[in-house]
Chain A
């Protein structure tokens, strides 16, 4: 029941629909009337990616096809790019990453729409070895008419650290799903997200963290801003399996709705099967605080600018948690651009 299966078989009944609990706010079956033709091979040059110049190695997929062989013994900073280059076509890609024990990896992942109305499905498998450290930064810049599903399955070994920040501006329909198998055992997970949506864009950030053993930490913070008729979706699920005691899991989702036609749907779930845990989630959805805007205007800042400033500061809290300095600068500029502010 995935987009990839439907693309492969052409069978629309394979698409997840509103009736599937985990897809109730991201209906693909109701939207897609027919599967577009498969994307052709694309050999021309593609424009530089958003993280250009930050990574020593680059793994590039264009229209679902890997361009050059994976860099072996990749360095500490790797750019992983998925480019959609042909209008109105569909492609799927899958990639696996193994991070050796006690090593460090910064994964600068980008999904770049360089054409209109494509379908893209990307599946990633990331295995993080014992004591290894991974920071994954995912920047999704899709075309407004694109349909994009990105699914990552992350397996952590004891003592591993996995930090992730997803930044997206949405698409016609978009889902970015991260599933983490958390072994406990002093492994540490941070899953963050930012969405800044306008026009009729839709973005769904879904995370599932399954704590399977004692002594695990998970911290999640997702923030979003929706304007016009956009729709933001956040689904976070933390599962604590029997015996996964001493789990410390925290999840926060906060959203601003800037227009009366925009929508935010949230489902922060806790499924707890062990008793010695500390789990919490918080969720707030609202508008910008009128008093803050009044304060700014009183100080001579025009209303539009005050709004942009407050919105940027709101999202900034998540961006600041990015550890890699270069990536943080890219993310900050990207957020500013989305909100119509030059950095």
Chain B
């Protein structure tokens, strides 16, 4: 109950979008627009080797031939890809440096966001408190990565993608684009051409990563797009838990965020990937502004008995288009997807997952909770498929939608493709509204309407919240409550 109480207090205390500030930081931009020259510019700026540039140019040429997908249940004015900055970086920072060298203005931004960038600041807490290694990405570059030394001691590589391309080219060349191929889809292809930074993680065989790893993405510059690329490789028997958070300033223009996340799992490896997505959702009254969040996330369970778990809390973004997927190739591998998608105001979310069963005895579980309020719409779109060789595959899917108010919409669009006689697929979905009886009961007990909504909604999403790492769960609970503020009555 303490957490619930805290939620209620937070709801009362907070503004609608607390991360909407902008910071005046000297920044360097690539010229607006997209062309081969821009791709070369980004690559040169990062001092990349020729093979990386060739890879980008190949992606750019393929992108020119692709068409923007239109099947998602979202609508937005056509995106002008020439009206965006594809590279924006704080001046004179070519890559992550030690904390002392980071622009104090940037540190101030992260302090305001409550992200611990100082290692000692984290350590100063109670003994045994969980610690987080953070890779902070500011617009197009990674500004700092913490705890690198301590992680290196156990063989874990945790650094920015630019650094990985310089320091560990053999790993990057082997795995980059092997899960999400360059021309996988329109936005992944665009990302492959212009990606600027992101995190790179390698966990060596048998190592259990000693602390939570996390990335914090911040869009700051106006009219810029963020295209980060994350690659996590868990070698045989390795384990890591990875957290991702993101925010952006409040602006009237739409900004594009097209990321690609690739996870590679070898035999017996396990990755737990959690996201709390809180990009600026646009003005709740007019729907103006906000981030277009078009993300491709995929895990490739190559090894036998490997396990991947995606947990996401999606509360922000004007438009979300995101389907974290699991390719269950290894025998006995398993995939999980836990999702809470909250939409309010004029937000549109089309999100879900793909569970592709290729190996024998593979298992997957999907729990998706959608909450729509205001004039928003939220769609669960998911694919579960079993290949003829995936004998003994099992899937359980549960999608529940909660509607708050007369003008919102909730859709469920599952695709199930079963291609062998030894699999079991179960799917159930419900759509209901917040029960008047329950609201009345809570209000009768002295809770205000908004407190009652927060309480009931937290109960509705509890199954998913429980999957989040502790600190994230508390934050996520607050976010869910804040996003729904003012949605009843």
Contacts and interface: CB of A to CB of B under 8 A. Distances in A.
Interface in B396-419: 401, 403-419
Interface residues of B, number: 35
Nearest to A259: B421
A260 B391 contact: yes
B281 to A, nearest CB: 20
Nearest to A245: B406
Interface stretch (A67-75, A194-202, A276-284, A327-335): A276-284
A287 interface: yes
Given A275-B405, A282-B427, A263 B432 contact: no
Interface in B30-61: none
B433 A276 contact: yes
A173 B416 CA distance: 19
A120 to B, nearest CB: 27
A272 B429 contact: no
B432 to A, nearest CB: 6
A274 B406 contact: yes
B426 A284 contact: yes
B412 A270 contact: yes
Nearest to A243: B406
Interface SS, B side = strand
B432 A268 contact: no
Interface residues of A, number: 35
A283 B425 contact: yes
B428 A281 contact: yes
B417 A272 contact: no
A8 interface: no
Given A260-B391, A267-B416, A280 B411 contact: no
A258 interface: yes
A257 B415 contact: no
A257 B419 CA distance: 8
Contacts of B420: 257, 260-261
A265 B417 CA distance: 4
A152 to B, nearest CB: 23
B116 interface: no
A270 B406 CA distance: 17
B431 interface: yes
B169 interface: no
A268 B426 CA distance: 12
B430 interface: yes
Contacts of B430: 278-280
B401 A272 contact: yes
A325 to B, nearest CB: 33
A26 to B, nearest CB: 13
Nearest to B424: A286
8 contacts: A260-B420, A264-B418, A266-B414, A271-B409, A272-B411, A277-B403, A279-B432, A286-B423
Given A261-B388, A265-B415, A283-B425, 5 more contacts: A264-B416, A267-B414, A270-B429, A274-B406, A285-B418
